[in-house]
Amino acid sequence: MNKCAMLDVNGVIIQNNCNDPKGAYYLLRPEDWVVLEGASEAHKLLHKNKYKIFWVTSQNSITEGLISEGKITDMLHCMKDMFEIYCGYWQVVSEIAIVTNDIVGDDSDPEIRRLKAEVKNDAMRKLIEKYDIDVSQSFGVGDRMSDIDSFEQVALKYKYQILTPYGDKLTQKADASYPDLLSCVKDHLTNLQKQSS
Ligand SMILES: [Mg+2]
Protein backbone atom coordinates (compact mmCIF):
# COMPACT_ATOMS: atom_id res chain seq x y z
CA MET A 1 0.00 0.00 0.00
CA ASN A 2 0.98 3.63 -0.42
CA LYS A 3 0.89 6.64 1.86
CA CYS A 4 -0.36 10.02 0.77
CA ALA A 5 -0.42 13.73 1.49
CA MET A 6 -3.84 15.15 0.57
CA LEU A 7 -3.29 18.86 0.00
CA ASP A 8 -5.78 21.66 -0.28
CA VAL A 9 -4.56 24.24 -2.80
CA ASN A 10 -5.81 27.74 -1.90
CA GLY A 11 -4.15 28.93 1.28
CA VAL A 12 -1.84 25.92 1.42
CA ILE A 13 0.06 25.91 -1.88
CA ILE A 14 -1.00 29.23 -3.36
CA GLN A 15 -1.83 32.50 -1.76
CA ASN A 16 -5.49 33.03 -1.23
CA ASN A 17 -7.70 35.99 -0.49
CA CYS A 18 -4.84 38.43 -0.68
CA ASN A 19 -7.11 41.36 -1.40
CA ASP A 20 -10.38 40.47 0.21
CA PRO A 21 -10.70 39.93 3.95
CA LYS A 22 -14.06 38.25 3.36
CA GLY A 23 -12.33 35.50 1.44
CA ALA A 24 -14.13 35.93 -1.84
CA TYR A 25 -11.00 36.47 -3.85
CA TYR A 26 -11.03 34.55 -7.09
CA LEU A 27 -8.06 33.23 -8.97
CA LEU A 28 -8.96 33.86 -12.56
CA ARG A 29 -5.69 34.73 -14.31
CA PRO A 30 -2.23 33.13 -14.16
CA GLU A 31 -0.89 36.31 -12.49
CA ASP A 32 -3.34 35.76 -9.58
CA TRP A 33 -1.61 32.50 -8.74
CA VAL A 34 1.09 33.23 -6.22
CA VAL A 35 2.88 30.13 -4.95
CA LEU A 36 3.50 30.31 -1.21
CA GLU A 37 7.07 30.28 0.02
CA GLY A 38 8.37 26.81 0.74
CA ALA A 39 5.51 25.01 -1.02
CA SER A 40 7.71 23.52 -3.73
CA GLU A 41 10.39 22.55 -1.18
CA ALA A 42 7.65 20.79 0.83
CA HIS A 43 6.74 18.78 -2.28
CA LYS A 44 10.37 17.80 -2.76
CA LEU A 45 10.52 16.50 0.82
CA LEU A 46 7.28 14.57 0.46
CA HIS A 47 8.43 13.02 -2.79
CA LYS A 48 11.77 12.06 -1.24
CA ASN A 49 9.85 10.38 1.59
CA LYS A 50 7.72 8.41 -0.87
CA TYR A 51 4.39 10.13 -0.35
CA LYS A 52 1.82 10.19 -3.12
CA ILE A 53 0.73 13.81 -3.35
CA PHE A 54 -2.82 14.78 -4.29
CA TRP A 55 -4.14 18.28 -4.79
CA VAL A 56 -7.81 18.46 -3.90
CA THR A 57 -9.48 21.75 -4.56
CA SER A 58 -12.91 23.24 -4.98
CA GLN A 59 -12.61 26.45 -6.94
CA ASN A 60 -15.68 28.57 -6.25
CA SER A 61 -14.96 30.58 -9.38
CA ILE A 62 -15.99 27.55 -11.49
CA THR A 63 -19.20 26.95 -9.54
CA GLU A 64 -20.08 30.61 -9.89
CA GLY A 65 -19.46 30.56 -13.63
CA LEU A 66 -16.58 33.05 -13.57
CA ILE A 67 -14.11 30.72 -15.26
CA SER A 68 -14.24 27.35 -16.98
CA GLU A 69 -13.00 24.18 -15.33
CA GLY A 70 -10.67 23.76 -18.34
CA LYS A 71 -8.89 27.05 -17.63
CA ILE A 72 -8.44 26.25 -13.93
CA THR A 73 -7.18 22.78 -14.90
CA ASP A 74 -4.62 24.34 -17.26
CA MET A 75 -3.35 26.70 -14.55
CA LEU A 76 -3.07 23.89 -12.01
CA HIS A 77 -1.19 21.72 -14.48
CA CYS A 78 1.23 24.58 -15.25
CA MET A 79 1.88 24.91 -11.53
CA LYS A 80 2.35 21.14 -11.22
CA ASP A 81 4.91 21.24 -14.07
CA MET A 82 6.72 24.10 -12.33
CA PHE A 83 6.89 22.18 -9.07
CA GLU A 84 8.13 19.07 -10.81
CA ILE A 85 10.86 20.97 -12.61
CA TYR A 86 11.90 22.37 -9.23
CA CYS A 87 11.87 18.91 -7.66
CA GLY A 88 13.74 17.39 -10.58
CA TYR A 89 11.19 14.59 -11.02
CA TRP A 90 7.97 14.11 -12.94
CA GLN A 91 4.86 12.73 -11.30
CA VAL A 92 5.64 14.38 -7.95
CA VAL A 93 1.95 15.26 -7.86
CA SER A 94 0.07 12.05 -8.58
CA GLU A 95 -3.29 13.62 -9.28
CA ILE A 96 -5.18 16.90 -9.22
CA ALA A 97 -8.82 16.59 -8.20
CA ILE A 98 -10.90 19.65 -8.99
CA VAL A 99 -14.11 19.24 -7.07
CA THR A 100 -17.18 20.81 -8.60
CA ASN A 101 -20.84 20.41 -7.79
CA ASP A 102 -24.15 21.73 -8.99
CA ILE A 103 -25.69 21.95 -5.54
CA VAL A 104 -27.82 25.08 -5.38
CA GLY A 105 -28.08 26.87 -2.07
CA ASP A 106 -26.36 29.07 0.40
CA ASP A 107 -23.35 27.92 2.40
CA SER A 108 -24.98 29.27 5.55
CA ASP A 109 -27.36 26.28 5.34
CA PRO A 110 -25.70 23.33 7.16
CA GLU A 111 -27.38 20.81 4.85
CA ILE A 112 -25.94 22.53 1.79
CA ARG A 113 -22.50 22.55 3.41
CA ARG A 114 -22.87 18.85 4.22
CA LEU A 115 -23.85 17.98 0.66
CA LYS A 116 -20.95 19.96 -0.80
CA ALA A 117 -18.52 18.38 1.66
CA GLU A 118 -19.75 14.93 0.66
CA VAL A 119 -18.82 15.61 -2.99
CA LYS A 120 -15.30 16.55 -1.88
CA ASN A 121 -15.05 13.55 0.45
CA ASP A 122 -16.08 11.26 -2.41
CA ALA A 123 -13.32 12.69 -4.59
CA MET A 124 -10.81 11.91 -1.83
CA ARG A 125 -12.20 8.41 -1.30
CA LYS A 126 -11.76 7.71 -5.02
CA LEU A 127 -8.10 8.75 -4.85
CA ILE A 128 -7.57 6.59 -1.76
CA GLU A 129 -9.01 3.59 -3.56
CA LYS A 130 -7.37 4.22 -6.93
CA TYR A 131 -3.86 4.63 -5.47
CA ASP A 132 -4.21 1.90 -2.82
CA ILE A 133 -3.63 4.37 0.03
CA ASP A 134 -3.11 3.28 3.60
CA VAL A 135 -4.96 6.07 5.46
CA SER A 136 -3.27 5.11 8.73
CA GLN A 137 0.01 6.36 7.27
CA SER A 138 -1.41 9.38 5.50
CA PHE A 139 -2.20 12.99 6.24
CA GLY A 140 -4.11 16.00 4.97
CA VAL A 141 -3.32 19.70 5.04
CA GLY A 142 -5.90 22.46 4.66
CA ASP A 143 -6.61 25.99 5.83
CA ARG A 144 -10.34 25.67 6.46
CA MET A 145 -12.24 23.89 9.20
CA SER A 146 -14.15 22.14 6.43
CA ASP A 147 -10.88 20.71 5.07
CA ILE A 148 -10.08 19.22 8.45
CA ASP A 149 -13.62 17.80 8.67
CA SER A 150 -13.15 16.16 5.28
CA PHE A 151 -9.82 14.63 6.28
CA GLU A 152 -11.56 13.19 9.32
CA GLN A 153 -14.44 11.85 7.20
CA VAL A 154 -12.06 9.94 4.93
CA ALA A 155 -10.08 8.70 7.97
CA LEU A 156 -6.68 10.22 7.25
CA LYS A 157 -4.61 9.65 10.36
CA TYR A 158 -3.11 13.14 10.62
CA LYS A 159 -4.99 16.38 9.97
CA TYR A 160 -3.05 19.62 9.83
CA GLN A 161 -4.31 23.17 9.54
CA ILE A 162 -2.44 26.06 7.97
CA LEU A 163 -3.33 29.26 9.75
CA THR A 164 -3.42 32.33 7.53
CA PRO A 165 -4.74 35.82 8.22
CA TYR A 166 -7.62 35.07 5.86
CA GLY A 167 -8.37 31.45 6.65
CA ASP A 168 -10.48 29.98 9.42
CA LYS A 169 -9.64 29.94 13.08
CA LEU A 170 -7.98 26.86 14.45
CA THR A 171 -10.32 23.90 14.78
CA GLN A 172 -9.86 21.53 17.68
CA LYS A 173 -10.11 18.63 15.25
CA ALA A 174 -6.71 19.54 13.76
CA ASP A 175 -3.78 17.58 15.15
CA ALA A 176 -1.53 20.59 14.79
CA SER A 177 -1.38 23.96 13.06
CA TYR A 178 1.40 25.65 11.14
CA PRO A 179 2.06 28.95 9.39
CA ASP A 180 2.95 27.19 6.13
CA LEU A 181 3.16 23.86 4.33
CA LEU A 182 6.92 23.48 4.60
CA SER A 183 7.01 23.77 8.40
CA CYS A 184 4.08 21.35 8.53
CA VAL A 185 5.80 18.72 6.38
CA LYS A 186 9.13 19.08 8.19
CA ASP A 187 7.46 18.69 11.59
CA HIS A 188 5.39 15.73 10.42
CA LEU A 189 8.45 13.89 9.13
CA THR A 190 10.47 14.68 12.27
CA ASN A 191 7.66 13.40 14.51
CA LEU A 192 7.40 10.17 12.54
CA GLN A 193 11.13 9.70 12.81
CA LYS A 194 10.96 10.22 16.59
CA GLN A 195 8.13 7.70 16.86
CA SER A 196 10.04 5.05 14.96
CA SER A 197 13.31 5.49 16.85
MG1 LIG B 1 -8.08 26.43 1.15
Q: How many whole angstroms from 95 Cα to the centroid of ligand 1?
A: 17
Cα 84 to Cα 2, 25, 53, 66, 112: the distances in Å are 20, 27, 12, 29, 36
Query: pTM to 2 decimals?
Result: 0.92
Q: What is the spatial distance between Cα 12 and Cα 31, in angstroms, rounded to a whole number?
A: 17
Per-chain residues with Cβ under 5 A from ion ligand 1: 8, 10-11, 143
CB atoms within 10 A of CB 106: 7
Per cent of the chain over pLDDT 90 is 63
Q: How many whole angstroms from 196 Cα to the centroid of ligand 1?
A: 31
Q: What's the rounded mean pLDDT across residues 125-151?
A: 96
Q: How many whole angstroms from 10 Cα to the centroid of ligand 1?
A: 4
Q: Whose CA is closest to 33, among 16, 50, 46?
A: 16
DSSP β-bridge partners for residue 139: 5, 158
Task: Say what angle helices 145-153 and 110-130 make with each other, to 10 degrees.
Answer: 50
**Domain with residues 3-196, CATH architecture:** 3-Layer(aba) Sandwich (3.40)
Q: How many whole angstroms from 58 Cα to the centroid of ligand 1?
A: 8
Where are the chain's structural domains?
Answer: 3-196
pLDDT tens readout for residues 150-185: 999 999 999 999 998 777 788 899 999 999 999 999
DSSP β-bridge partners for residue 96: 55
